[in-house]
Structure 1
């Protein structure tokens, strides 16, 4: 009897998705499969307190949106890889960094702080920075940036987590994820707040 290995692989994949209870409900979370978005994919709005509010349109599941946190702008795919100047990328709810598994040649690192208030963090931590491995830091450390509400089939950010991003140019930024949905409820239009921080104070030899 001839075995169709492609069918077996497909069956295994579907079974894996069905038992991943903590994963988002893909039936309702992918309303824009394959579409190319005509509007801007990154919008950054400066705030009065010196922070910035970023809105990322990651509704196209087959594409990554590359973000340069130093300049607060989108980087098109060619520019992102030609210059290696991107810092974070967004593909639906997955956030990767330019370093480690996201790109072995990248220099970006991220520290994850728990139960740290936004206002109290006025300087970058001197340690705790990581790069993506088999799982992105934003997805795995401290449970990941979001939790999934099984009753509502919605993602919600973990408000207790604060991220510090060491950018591709060596600058530091605190960052807090705010929402997976825009003001009208469209999924994969992520928003986050970020602000530049002083570099860590060098330790005495």
Structure 2
């Protein structure tokens, strides 16, 4: 049930008590991506560069505001104002329910996404959002968001109907999430509703943006934006004019063809005291770097899913094995969390072997997570198999950092030979991400 917007403000719908939750670490195999600064190699698919700020439209204006863009929308009318985030343009879709033209739409205090119950873009991705908030009373750390959180770390959601007490239906992510700092007062309506706080009719029905709330939004074209709402009243003190800040950031590509093969030259090997060190350029979003451990070589399998020339493959933070769901060979791993590299000289007699599963890569699942998110880090930090992701916390290497966990893996290759292996870094000497390095040595 939606309310007609015949005035500049209204009593907001009741909140849907759903919170965007942290996914269980390692339960999703994934296209996990790191967060990185916009001026580094981006996880966003190539798109034509638009001249920004965009032209807006009769009910929308965009201006440059430092390093980002700010918008003012006249949402006082009865019609939705549809916005294409990529070009910052107001658009007029003939059939909004099945249109690729728009990403978000605004009407009064409501904001809907082109996904779920609000739209089904026939030629693009459903628009999804990750709603986030800082501690109540603490301004959201907008500047620290330099990339979209990986989908293995957080849950992206889109508009969805859900009947709640009283017969109302809450559809819109941005007007229901994240969770309230002040729960709605059933008598006056005062409380938090997603992006805004409503003062209640007794206090004048004032709508104000919550300063501790922000969103990461993925557009129809699979481009990512950080967005924070900043107000509801324009410069002339007129209500019904929602305002927001916007900036494109890197994120995980929406490419279903994730089984490509990176050409030779993306991996190099150097001898160590007891084995080899491998350095991999794993920046490709839609292709894997395949490795033959026994010969310390990069290979180019013709049919990776049914090929006996490779043992491991790398794609950004993901590592897959030629076994289980990823291949027809018998490659598997056993994890030794906290083990001393020098003392691991043989295969443990009680080794517990793990292969890749349909919904979980062994290397991003084992060992199980010890850290699963803290409020101080935005609840998006945690362990994902071989690595720890810092989220909004600086654990010594900066925010949004990927760090190898203290674990030695025993790897059984496709030929039944055994190696010990440990991850060394996710960054090259220049600090560029998606350049994993690892060390491995044969075992008895």
List alignment gaps of at least 5 residues for structure 2.
Answer: 1-94, 99-118, 132-147, 155-215, 217-223, 225-248, 253-260, 370-384, 393-398
Distance 2:263 2:418 in 1: 32
Q: Aligned residue for 1:201?
A: none
TM-score under structure 1 normalisation?
0.80
Distance 2:440 2:153 in 1: 27
TM-score under structure 2 normalisation?
0.39
Deviations 1:133-190 (A, max 9, x none): 12001111223111111131111111x2111110011110000001110010111111
Distance 2:150 2:438 in 1: 30
Q: Indicate the RMSD between aligned Cα atoms, in angstroms.
A: 3.2
Aligned mate of 2:336, from 113, 126, 137: 113
SS in 2 for 1:123: coil
Q: Go from structure 1 to structure 2 and tell me whether the alpha carbon gap of 1:185 and 1:57 turns closer, same or farther (over 3 Å shift).
A: same
Distance 1:7 1:18 in 2: 23
Matches within 5 A, 1:155-194: 155-158=402-405, 160-194=406-440
SS in 2 for 1:180: strand
Give the deviation of 1:50 after TM superposition: 1.7
Q: Aligned residue for 2:312?
A: 88
Aligned mate of 1:59, from 278, 283, 289: 283
Is 1:125 the counterpart of 2:348? The answer is yes
Aligned mate of 1:76, from 284, 300, 312: 300
Contact 2:356–2:362 (CA<8 Å) still a contact in 1? yes
Contact 2:422–2:438 (CA<8 Å) still a contact in 1? yes
Contact 1:29–1:187 (CA<8 Å) still a contact in 2? no
Q: Aligned residue for 2:126?
A: 11
Distance 1:65 1:10 in 2: 27
Give the deviation of 1:87 after TM superposition: 0.5
Give the deviation of 1:93 after TM superposition: 0.8
Between Structure 1 and Structure 2, the one with more helix by share is 1
Give the deviation of 1:21 after TM superposition: 8.1
Q: Go from structure 1 to structure 2 and tell me whether the alpha carbon gap of 1:3 and 1:29 turns closer, same or farther (over 3 Å shift).
A: closer
SS in 1 for 2:290: strand
Give the deviation of 1:13 after TM superposition: 5.1
Q: Go from structure 1 to structure 2 and tell me whether the alpha carbon gap of 1:165 and 1:18 turns closer, same or farther (over 3 Å shift).
A: closer
Contact 1:175–1:192 (CA<8 Å) still a contact in 2? yes
Structure having the higher Rg:
2
Contact 2:411–2:421 (CA<8 Å) still a contact in 1? yes
List alignment gaps of at least 5 residues for structure 1.
Answer: 31-35, 199-205
Distance 1:175 1:80 in 2: 22
Q: Go from structure 1 to structure 2 and tell me whether the alpha carbon gap of 1:65 and 1:3 turns closer, same or farther (over 3 Å shift).
A: same
